[in-house]
Amino acid sequence: MTSILPGELWIAVIPFTNGSASKRRPVLVLWRDGLDAVVAAVTSVAPRSPTDVSLSDWQAGGLRVPSTVRLSRLDCLEEGLLLFRLGRVSRADARQLRQVWRSRVHPQF
């Protein structure tokens, strides 16, 4: 398997929470944890919360349409669920994602 690195955009198999099926979706790899990857959902829907980051360089990242990373929608996926690499977020988008993460993503307990 190709190595999976933080900052990469992948197509992943996202299992439904009830286990009945799954769907292929783009994700952003945030970090690796052993054989798992912690990923954020990527959507074509415009930002709707302070933890959503619109990607300026979505085409360079391999995405087909303007996209938003939802930093509040995280999954921990086995690496086998990551099917193929689309690309990588640009430096400018990575800076924006880190800034939003630092300022907006906090434990709520």
One CATH from 3.40.50.970, 2.30.30.110, 2.40.110.10, 2.60.40.720 for 8-104: 2.30.30.110
The domain locations on the chain are 8-104
Question: What would the pLDDT profile of 80-105 be if each residue is shown by its tens digit?
Answer: 999 999 999 999 999 999 999 999 99
Q: What is the pTM of this model?
A: 0.93
Question: What would the pLDDT profile of 35-69 be if each residue is shown by its tens digit?
Answer: 999 999 999 999 999 999 999 999 999 999 999 99
**Residue 89 CB-density burial (10 A; 0-12 exposed, 13-18 middle, 19+ buried):** buried
